Amino acid sequence: MYLQIRRALLKNLMKEKGWRKTEFAKRLGINYSYLCRLLDGERNPGSKFFSCFLKFCREENLEFEDYFYIKTNKDQC
């Protein structure tokens, strides 16, 4: 079981704010290439992303929980 990003919501947030990926990465405090890989589904978020995004949500008055969901492995109990 792990947290998965709601990529479409993050992309919508960027669009609503008028931010390009470079601006969004800078505001989050993460590397641009890391953000691109997250949004493209090539990487899963790690603890650094979660801590940066949590801080970002507090600053922007957003609900952290809206942007993630719990993914379960069906083989596990």
Question: How is residue 44 annotated by DSSP?
Answer: -
Residue 73 lies in a domain: no
Over residues 44-59, the pLDDT tens digits come to 888 899 999 999 999 9
Q: Which two tokens stand for residue 72?
A: 């379960």
What three-state secondary structure class fits 55? Answer: helix
75 found inside a domain: no
Residue with tokens 């493209």: 40
Structure tokens at 50: 């979660």
Q: What is the pLDDT of residue 72?
A: 81
Q: What pLDDT, on the 0 to 100 scale, is given for residue 44?
A: 86
58 is a domain residue: yes
Mean pLDDT of 28-41: 95
Q: Domain with 41 in it: what CATH number? A: 1.10.260.40
Confirm whether 70 is domain-assigned: no
Give me the pLDDT at residue 19, please.
96
- For 11-30, the pLDDT digits (tens) are 999 999 999 999 999 999 99
Q: What is the pTM of this model?
A: 0.82
